């Protein structure tokens, strides 16, 4: 198995791979650190359609963060989001959303990871919604992953308090 490494130099990411038993060190220049990507899950899209058809209602009020969302061999590169997945790739912390604000065009969620929690390399965050009204009584009170965001790795240590801001635009 080879060894991997990444170094941030002048706002560029250099990823390297070394074959075992070789002396050469292959270095390939990657592009600048990726931008965060965000997507609704297929379940969220289905729930929006159901809201229009049968009156199903849900409320976003929890979030989770995880250690997935980036490539381990090059942590400044963001992995594509799987909108069919019902979970984050590697959830390490979940809590209530600290603060929400709404207007006619968007909703903004502030998600706070406190000191001594989720001490890891973070690369994904998800918003969780609870079904509060449904024509199917067994659905009421159940949760689903609504929105997922992947971003280049953020290394969180014990003394850090990390706050994520997620904005959803209304169409």
Asked whether residue 64 falls in the same domain as residue 5, the answer is: no
Q: Are 131 and 142 in contact (CB under 8 A)?
A: yes
* Cα angle: 135, vertex 61, 64; to 5 degrees: 115
> Which of 4-8, 88-92, 109-113 is predicted least confidently?
4-8
Asked whether residue 8 falls in the same domain as residue 91, the answer is: no
pLDDT confidence bin for 159, thresholds 50/70/90: confident
How far CA 114 is from CA of 71, 162, 168, in Å, comes to 25, 7, 23
Asked whether residue 153 falls in the same domain as residue 133, the answer is: yes
Segments forming the whole domain that contains residue 130: 33-169
Asked whether residue 74 falls in the same domain as residue 147, the answer is: yes
How far CA 16 is from CA of 78, 112, 121, 154, in Å, comes to 17, 34, 19, 20
User: What is the structure's pLDDT at 32?
Assistant: 64
How many structural domains is the chain composed of? 2
Structure pTM? 0.78
Asked whether residue 37 falls in the same domain as residue 12, the answer is: no
What average pLDDT is seen over the chain?
Answer: 82
Asked if the model's pLDDT at residue 28 lies above 90, the reply is no
* Pick from 72, 122, 73: nearest CA to 94: 122
pLDDT confidence bin for 104, thresholds 50/70/90: confident
Asked whether residue 67 falls in the same domain as residue 108, the answer is: yes
Asked whether residue 17 falls in the same domain as residue 41, the answer is: no
Q: Are 120 and 93 in contact (CB under 8 A)?
A: no
Asked whether residue 89 falls in the same domain as residue 165, the answer is: yes
> Which of 5-14, 15-24, 43-52, 124-133 is predicted least confidently?
5-14
* Pick from 168, 120, 119: nearest CA to 146: 168
pLDDT confidence bin for 21, thresholds 50/70/90: very low
């Amino acid at each position: 198995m080879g060894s991997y490494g990444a170094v941030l130099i002048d706002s560029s990411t250099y990823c390297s791979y070394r074959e075992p038993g070789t002396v050469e060190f292959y270095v390939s220049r990657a592009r600048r650190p990726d931008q965060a990507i965000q997507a609704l899950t297929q379940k969220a899209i289905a729930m929006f359609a159901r809201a229009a058809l049968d009156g199903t209602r849900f409320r976003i009020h929890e979030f989770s963060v995880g250690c997935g969302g980036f490539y381990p061999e090059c942590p400044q590169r963001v992995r594509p989001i799987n909108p069919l997945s019902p979970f984050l790739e590697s959830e390490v912390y979940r809590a209530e959303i600290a603060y929400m604000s709404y207007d006619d065009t968007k909703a903004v969620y502030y998600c706070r990871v406190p000191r001594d929690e989720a001490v890891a390399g973070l690369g994904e965050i998800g918003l969780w919604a609870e079904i509060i009204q449904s024509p199917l009584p067994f659905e009421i009170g159940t949760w689903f992953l609504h929105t997922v965001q992947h971003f280049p790795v953020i290394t969180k240590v014990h003394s850090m308090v990390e706050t994520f801001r997620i904005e959803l635009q209304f169409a």
